[in-house]
A and B are shown apart, each in its own frame.
Chain A
Amino acid sequence: MSQKILICDDEEGVRESLKLILGDLYDLVVIEDPELIPEVLSKNKDVKLTLLDVKMPKIGGLDALKTIKTSFPSVSVIMVTGYKSVEIAAEATKLGACGYIVKPFKSEEILEKVKKVMG
Chain B
Amino acid sequence: MVILNPYAVPPLITSCTALILGLIVAYKSKTKLNQVFFRWCLCVFIWLFSYTICYSITDEKLATLLSKIACTAVLFLAPTFYHFNVIFFKKTKEEVFVKIGYLIDILMIPLIFSTNHILNGVHKFFFGYYVVAGKFYWITLLIFFSFSIRALFLLIEGLKNTALSPKEHQQTQYFLVAFSIAYLGGVDFLPKFGINIYPFGSFLFFIWIILMAYAILKHQILDIKIVIQKSLVYSLLLASLTIIYLLVVFCLESILQKVFAYHSVLIRILIAFVLGVLVLPLRNKIHQIFEKIILKATPIELAEQNELLRSEVAEKEKFKAIATLASGIAHEVKNPLSTLKTFIDYLPAKHNDPEFMSKFSRLGNQEIERVNNLVHNLLNFAKPTPPEFKATDINKLIEETIGLIENSAQKNNITIHHSSQSTVHSSLSLDQNQIKQALLNILLNAIDAMPNGGTLTITTLSKNKFYEIEITDTGSGIAKDDLKHIFEPFFTKKDTGTGLGLSITYGIVEEHKGKIEVESTVGVGTTFRIKLLLDHRRL
Let me know if A95 is at the binding interface, CB within 8 A.
no
Docked complex: A63-97 residues within 8 A CB-CB of B? 63, 82-83, 85, 87-88, 91
Contacts of A85 in B (CB 8 A): 411
* Interface of A (DSSP majority class): helix
Binds A, one of B17-25, B167-175, B329-337, B384-392: B329-337
Contacts of A55 in B (CB 8 A): 331, 406-407, 410
Number of interface residues, chain B, beta carbon within 8 A: 27
Total contacts A-B at CB 8 Å? 73
Binary contact readout B351-371 vs A (1 if CB under 8 angstroms, 0 otherwise): 000001001000100110000
Determine if B346 and A20 form an interchain contact, defined as CB atoms under 8 angstroms apart: yes
Determine if A60 and B415 form an interchain contact, defined as CB atoms under 8 angstroms apart: yes
Docked complex: A40-70 residues within 8 A CB-CB of B? 54-55, 60, 62-63
Contacts of A11 in B (CB 8 A): 335, 339
Let me know if A119 is at the binding interface, CB within 8 A.
no
Q: Contacts A17-B339, A55-B410, A107-B346 given; indicate if A82 touches B363 (C-beta within 8 A).
A: no
Contacts of A105 in B (CB 8 A): 338, 341-342
Contacts of B330 in A (CB 8 A): 83
Determine if B341 and A87 form an interchain contact, defined as CB atoms under 8 angstroms apart: no
In the complex, A54 Cα to B410 Cα: how many Å? 9
Binary contact readout A14-31 vs B (1 if CB under 8 angstroms, 0 otherwise): 101110110000000000
Instruction: Give the residue name and chain of the A residue nearest to B412 (CB).
Output: A87
Q: Contacts A83-B331, A83-B334, A103-B337 given; indicate if A16 touches B410 (C-beta within 8 A).
A: no
Contacts of B359 in A (CB 8 A): 16
Contact of B342 among A17, A62, A91 (CB under 8 A): A17
Determine if A104 and B338 form an interchain contact, defined as CB atoms under 8 angstroms apart: yes
Let me know if A112 is at the binding interface, CB within 8 A.
no
Between B332, B341, B356, B406, the greatest number of chain A beta carbons within 10 A of the residue's beta carbon is seen for B341
Q: Contacts A60-B415, A104-B334 given; indicate if A20 touches B410 (C-beta within 8 A).
A: no
Q: Contacts A12-B363, A16-B359 given; indicate if A88 touches B411 (C-beta within 8 A).
A: yes
In the complex, A63 Cα to B406 Cα: how many Å? 16
In the complex, A112 Cα to B346 Cα: how many Å? 17
Q: Which residue numbers of B lie inside 8 Å of A, CB to CB?
A: 330-332, 334-343, 345-346, 350, 356, 359, 363, 366-367, 406-407, 410-411, 413, 415
